[in-house]
Amino acid sequence: MFAYIKGTVTEIGTDEIIVETGGIGFSVFTSSQDSARLTKNQQATIYTHLNVREDDMSLFGFLTKEERSVFRMLINISGVGPKSALSILSCLSVDELRMAVLSDDYKAIAKANGIGPKTAQRLVIELRDKFHLEDVLGEYDEASPATSAPEDIVSETAMALSSLGYSNVEALRAIKKVPDSESMTVEQLLKAALKHII
């Protein structure tokens, strides 16, 4: 019904914002990650999903079409409602969720409020065929174009960090933070990434 809302962000909460357009203030549920990226009185385009139930109509909003698309994938999984899907996207970025699914890291997904281990495992199984490692590494390159190591070096470093007990999500986060990594070896990138893991 609503593809997006373009207007002024007048209020920001941890999981809800108010976007005013044409004299109407729309209450929109958002992930805490998206809320943190917005500022009061900012002009914004919010891509929306309208959830209709018998007794309620709720608007869910996202800063990118891709995040909305992943949200829609999540709510199609048995046991994952809109609030649970938003909780997952508050806990993990789209990139981190992809990495968690592709590496069977259901524990990272189960950290989201309202998501138990069984639901997280089902989510991993159902989304595995919809996500590809190239997408994760491609986003890694786009996110840090000046500091991106070759894909094989990133993969080997992520595996090394996993063998040290870190989740793949933690590994990818740390690798992304390493500056000037394009000419590093696996050993150099591993040492540098370890400094970024808290």
Can you give the pLDDT at residue 164? 87
What is the DSSP secondary-structure string of 164-197?
A: TT--HHHHHHHHHT-SS-TT--HHHHHHHHHHT-
Cα(182)–Cα(101) distance, integer angstroms: 26
Per-residue model confidence as pLDDT tens digits over 87-97? 999 999 998 89
Question: Torsion angle of alpha carbons 152, 154, 157, 163, nearest 10°?
Answer: -90
Instruction: Report, as ranges of residue numbers, the positions in the chain whose pLDDT lies below 50.
Output: 140-147
Which residue is it, tokens 């981190």?
96
Tokens of 151: 């894909």
Can you give the pLDDT at residue 145? 43
Per-residue model confidence as pLDDT tens digits over 105-115? 889 999 999 99
Can you give the pLDDT at residue 28? 98
Can you give the pLDDT at residue 4? 96
pTM listed for this prediction:
0.73
